[in-house]
Structure 1
């Protein structure tokens, strides 16, 4: 999908800061800058390298300064704000910026035209830039590119005690070596320092300035009436590949990702490409994983299980889906799946009740797509241990009550996706029986019963327990007078809040409610929580509703699940809407019409991606992670349902 921005789109400083692009390298490393070529966040980087996939990341090349000179005059092509001093205003020379998988810029100044492209190499900590300069004038012009470096772990501060050593074309700092390959003139320069200002971090109470250092420059002079190409490659690898090869192969990958899944809708093809950005290698297992979001998150178990069907199965990336499931198979413990994989010798964190149940769902879905029963047989003992642990009780208060429903959470542990904790404060305490967890539980039992029959095993116990769970669920959660489901059975007085979690009880493959009840849930969610870019986490009329997400960490956390709009539940809403309307032609047209709102959403924030969240009252600007895996994955499932009539995944009786 081709996105084009002119200086008309970027004349406002706020818009220059908010619009960015994202490239990834399959290791957890990435390249992300504003569309005007600057760093508006601490986590922006031209080369965010990953030295141990997927989470040991280093901000190596923070940005590049680009200065064009001619006849004694000078101008910037780069754009950057600083803590002190005048900004670089290169956006004023911009003809247009384009993102079509890879970003590209065209500048013009005094008749000189500069075209710029960049790309990352795959599974390498390498970024390549190409400048094509055309000088129609009668005097030479010179482009000087200065890489501003950090060599610090992602999110950390550079200090002036850091040393940078340049030997030939190699910079050494913090025990890492950066090789610079160029056909331009590489020259050392006195060590210089700049303190950048981060306009996207400042409003959220994050660190609003960052120090950078420069020790080299690359110069290219273009004779009058001629054209010249300047190539630059920055890498932590032993050898630096040619820029042309990196650019060519990266473009081919983007075109391949766009075609994967065979989607017809332009936005769906873009989302298929976007989903590839989150799939990365995990060195600890030698397999694949899914990073939850850029630029902040790592590979969270819950997020991975939610994002996996859309990002891999809907796009035909079955081998990667299998590898991801294999990764989690290795880490099952006490019937739980990891919520977070810390690096080094630290043990994984298992504080999630939903990841293990969603793992069962994803194995079932994988088998439906591929027919790979050998993998199901390998996963079967783990899935049985999960159900056994939930029945008998495991960590974090996760256990089955006498009525067959699952209760979870104790003390200050938050184990559902609404998991914020602020010291001793739990903004969304969901201890007890959460509605979506019991929907997952019921479906896991039905799926095991079905898989048991396929494997010629005895699954009657799972089917019998599922019957009891469905009866208890209807009795406990259904609110006849409100036409919706309780969010959690806890006895805390908050059970009557209208939240988005109930939509997953309708969107699951195996129904818990009768058709009339399902239709009323969808209608209530549409009336109270629906927005074109996501579902609100709490109805606006609730006294606890927070209309805006922003400010210091505590203020953000208090709003996070108290009305803030999340795109990823929108996938379940659309699937549920199709389901209760019998996947009719009219329902499909309606959902396709609603999905039109995604096209402007893909232009805002990180171009071509969907974000983590929006404000609850007026969801106009993206917040949180500018690219979120489960947002992309869940909407891909909707496009798949529209284009392929996959009703057999949703219409079990």
Structure 2
């Protein structure tokens, strides 16, 4: 049996199966995603979703879904499924599903009377193309197969309705057709490796519903266009390849191409292999350079996520060059966004000052992977520029005080990663001296001094500053009464909320805290924040704690950092915990890893969601696959190996 397998009793239970999704991506920036039954529940779902340069590279759903039907003795058995008004599903193809396994590619197996059909889907690595292989495993009579495409041709954030502007005319191709419904879009080429008849019966299927959008309080009804269907005979044991692409394919080569692409895949036979597959899904190639998508389905590139995720994502990968390419690009982005001066001098309102400080952490991790790499020769100038930039910040929304600590505050603007805004106001403002920003600042200075200052001609003279910050950090943040760190300090106000941000002061390679302080903090975090899916963003003992993230957007945003669980923080907990408890702490971290292994079969199969409810059973929420969360679990595996 495959590592990850769903059986018939699970699949026919729509309450169970519609919550579980699948995602496949490629290096061209395209993806294919739906639920395990094939019923789309989000406007972001689609069989072929592509970036289109004509529309500034945004993602667009071209092929929403593909219904497959088997025909025997003039009886038609439709294996598709769509939701309509009144909790009505038509057709009900899920009742024929007997199993799904994720060993190499998602494989669905359908049983219809004496017929058994399997389907396997994958993306072409470098093209906007999805390939579907269908195999008739069993049949005792002559069998026909039909492919009925449902077309959307719209942005992933929008929905489409029947309209007079749509061009519904199809043009013939070898073993297929092509169609372009609106100007500016590419043609969608739909072809099959076998001769077939395309039956042109154009129609709009109205008011298909997406229940995830309905639950989130968004518009959720859509009309999809069906131009007709492809029909051909299929024999027992025969495989047929269906291709949907923005470029014309050669039908005779589709079977060989599917095999080549299939052979590139890492088998999903362990937790680590699932995560390594997922790690590669975030990589996109643009010309000769690479970029990192923060998450699916609606995130693009986010610099903080990139820097936090890179060390974990590249661990265990044989080819690390794409990740180093991404790191080099991140350095360029930091210089452009944070360090470039305006005509008036320093940029006055750059928020998220922690982002350039994360670069030092990323480089620390990269140095452990490449001991022979001269980090300073490659990145020393950038590190020096960041430090010099920060040391020049005075009397603005971000400034450095006489003790060397960083202070950040802008009315109405969240300045940290906890950046939810509701009705124009931050939910967690966290103004003043912020604990993780200053922990990152201290870590950056020590790393630079130890590894680069001499090579950079000792120009910054950091020793005295580092000692001042170390003393000031403890004086500013240490909560003697609670034996942990204040989350932020603003004037006389010291926020004693137990939040996970303090874990960085424990887990980063260079900490301003002594071993006893770090141990006391870890013990508090373990007691108040640790769950099987990561660290809560707020202790349940707080009157502001919200353990469930649900309802419309504003309601969800209010709860987002008030108790929800973020897996990316779990790697820092593991690092900090084992740095104190060594081998004696491995059992606890392994139990935490077991929680993530269970998650391989939830929400989006073989990956890690954006965040989780703070209350058990810690249901996955938000984006279905998040780069820094996948990276964190890979890091935990590596950390356990280190101490085992």
Give your verdict on TM over 0.5. yes
Correspondence for 1:605? 603
* Deviation per residue, 1:209-248 (Å, 9 max, x gap): 222111131213236xx44322100111354574334432
Correspondence for 2:615? 617
Correspondence for 1:180? 190
| Contact 2:43–2:213, Cα closer than 8 Å, also in 1 | yes
1:332 counterpart SS class: helix
Q: State the distance in 2 between where 1:336 and 1:568 align.
A: 24
Q: State the distance in 2 between where 1:109 and 1:31 align.
A: 26
* Deviation per residue, 1:329-381 (Å, 9 max, x gap): 2223477289xxxxxxxxxx964222110112212332332246566424222
Please report how far the alpha carbon of residue 395 of structure 1 lies from its aligned counterpart in structure 2 after TM superposition.
11
Correspondence for 2:238? 228
* Deviation per residue, 1:417-471 (Å, 9 max, x gap): 1011123321101121111111111111011112215736326623332222111
Correspondence for 2:343? none
1:62-77 mapped onto 2 (5 Å cutoff)? 62-77=64-79
Decide which moves more: 485-494 or 380-389. Answer: 485-494
Correspondence for 2:217? 205
| Contact 2:578–2:643, Cα closer than 8 Å, also in 1 | no
Task: Confirm whether residue 630 of structure 1 aligns to residue 628 of structure 2.
Answer: yes
Sort the Cα spacing of 1:245 and 1:306 in 2 relative to 1 into closer, same or farther, 3 A.
farther
Correspondence for 2:489? 489
Correspondence for 2:289? 287
Sort the Cα spacing of 1:446 and 1:486 in 2 relative to 1 into closer, same or farther, 3 A.
same
Q: State the distance in 2 between where 1:143 and 1:206 align.
A: 36
Sort the Cα spacing of 1:335 and 1:628 in 2 relative to 1 into closer, same or farther, 3 A.
closer
Sort the Cα spacing of 1:395 and 1:312 in 2 relative to 1 into closer, same or farther, 3 A.
farther
1:333-412 mapped onto 2 (5 Å cutoff)? 333=335, 336=338, 351-371=351-371, 373=373, 376-393=376-393, 397-412=397-412
Correspondence for 2:346? none
Structure 2 residue runs without a partner (length 5+): 341-348
* Deviation per residue, 1:373-396 (Å, 9 max, x gap): 566424222221211221211898
Task: Confirm whether residue 24 of structure 1 aligns to residue 25 of structure 2.
Answer: yes
Please report how far the alpha carbon of residue 645 of structure 1 lies from its aligned counterpart in structure 2 after TM superposition.
4.7
Please report how far the alpha carbon of residue 509 of structure 1 lies from its aligned counterpart in structure 2 after TM superposition.
0.6
Q: State the distance in 1 between where 2:580 and 2:544 align.
A: 30
Task: Confirm whether residue 130 of structure 1 aligns to residue 133 of structure 2.
Answer: yes
Sort the Cα spacing of 1:390 and 1:204 in 2 relative to 1 into closer, same or farther, 3 A.
same
2:631 counterpart SS class: helix
2:322 counterpart SS class: helix
* Deviation per residue, 1:564-599 (Å, 9 max, x gap): 111111111111111111x22x22233123311112
Correspondence for 1:651? none
Decide which moves more: 558-567 or 179-188. Answer: 179-188
Q: State the distance in 2 between where 1:40 and 1:640 align.
A: 35
- Count of residue pairs the alignment pairs up: 623
| Contact 2:21–2:34, Cα closer than 8 Å, also in 1 | yes
The TM-score, its normalising length taken from structure 1, stands at: 0.90
Correspondence for 2:531? 531
Task: Confirm whether residue 33 of structure 1 aligns to residue 34 of structure 2.
Answer: yes
Correspondence for 1:342? none
1:527-566 mapped onto 2 (5 Å cutoff)? 527-566=527-566
Q: State the distance in 2 between where 1:99 and 1:574 align.
A: 29
2:266 counterpart SS class: helix
Please report how far the alpha carbon of residue 48 of structure 1 lies from its aligned counterpart in structure 2 after TM superposition.
0.7
Q: State the distance in 2 between where 1:529 and 1:556 align.
A: 20
Correspondence for 1:248? 259
Please report how far the alpha carbon of residue 197 of structure 1 lies from its aligned counterpart in structure 2 after TM superposition.
1.2
Sort the Cα spacing of 1:475 and 1:54 in 2 relative to 1 into closer, same or farther, 3 A.
farther
| Contact 2:294–2:305, Cα closer than 8 Å, also in 1 | yes
Correspondence for 2:155? 153
Q: State the distance in 1 between where 2:534 and 2:338 align.
A: 29
| Contact 1:507–1:575, Cα closer than 8 Å, also in 2 | yes
Q: State the distance in 2 between where 1:522 and 1:179 align.
A: 56
Specify which of 91, 95, 99 is matched with residue 94 of structure 2. Answer: 91
Correspondence for 2:61? 59
Task: Confirm whether residue 272 of structure 1 aligns to residue 276 of structure 2.
Answer: yes
Correspondence for 1:439? 439
Sort the Cα spacing of 1:492 and 1:611 in 2 relative to 1 into closer, same or farther, 3 A.
farther
| Contact 1:54–1:298, Cα closer than 8 Å, also in 2 | no
Q: State the distance in 2 between where 1:394 and 1:323 align.
A: 34
Q: State the distance in 1 between where 2:382 and 2:14 align.
A: 52
Q: CA RMSD in A?
A: 2.5
2:227 counterpart SS class: strand
Sort the Cα spacing of 1:43 and 1:253 in 2 relative to 1 into closer, same or farther, 3 A.
same
Decide which moves more: 73-82 or 412-421. Answer: 73-82
**Structure 1 runs of 4+ with >6 Å offset:** none
2:452 counterpart SS class: helix
* Deviation per residue, 1:63-109 (Å, 9 max, x gap): 11122222233222122212366422111111201112410011111
Structure 1 residue runs without a partner (length 5+): 259-264, 339-348, 647-653
Sort the Cα spacing of 1:176 and 1:455 in 2 relative to 1 into closer, same or farther, 3 A.
same
* Deviation per residue, 1:163-214 (Å, 9 max, x gap): 2331002111223111122025141423211232112221111232222111
Sort the Cα spacing of 1:55 and 1:450 in 2 relative to 1 into closer, same or farther, 3 A.
farther
| Contact 2:266–2:273, Cα closer than 8 Å, also in 1 | no
Please report how far the alpha carbon of residue 553 of structure 1 lies from its aligned counterpart in structure 2 after TM superposition.
0.7
| Contact 1:473–1:512, Cα closer than 8 Å, also in 2 | yes
Q: State the distance in 2 between where 1:619 and 1:534 align.
A: 13
Sort the Cα spacing of 1:114 and 1:297 in 2 relative to 1 into closer, same or farther, 3 A.
same
Decide which moves more: 392-401 or 298-307. Answer: 392-401
Q: State the distance in 2 between where 1:281 and 1:515 align.
A: 44
Correspondence for 1:305? 307
Q: State the distance in 1 between where 2:32 and 2:5 align.
A: 19
1:81 counterpart SS class: strand
Q: State the distance in 1 between where 2:489 and 2:276 align.
A: 38
Q: State the distance in 2 between where 1:231 and 1:350 align.
A: 51
Q: State the distance in 1 between where 2:117 and 2:587 align.
A: 44
Specify which of 591, 594, 606 is matched with residue 592 of structure 2. Answer: 594
1:87 counterpart SS class: strand
| Contact 1:602–1:609, Cα closer than 8 Å, also in 2 | yes
| Contact 2:215–2:551, Cα closer than 8 Å, also in 1 | yes
Q: State the distance in 1 between where 2:274 and 2:89 align.
A: 37
Sort the Cα spacing of 1:539 and 1:444 in 2 relative to 1 into closer, same or farther, 3 A.
same
Sort the Cα spacing of 1:350 and 1:46 in 2 relative to 1 into closer, same or farther, 3 A.
farther
Task: Confirm whether residue 42 of structure 1 aligns to residue 40 of structure 2.
Answer: no
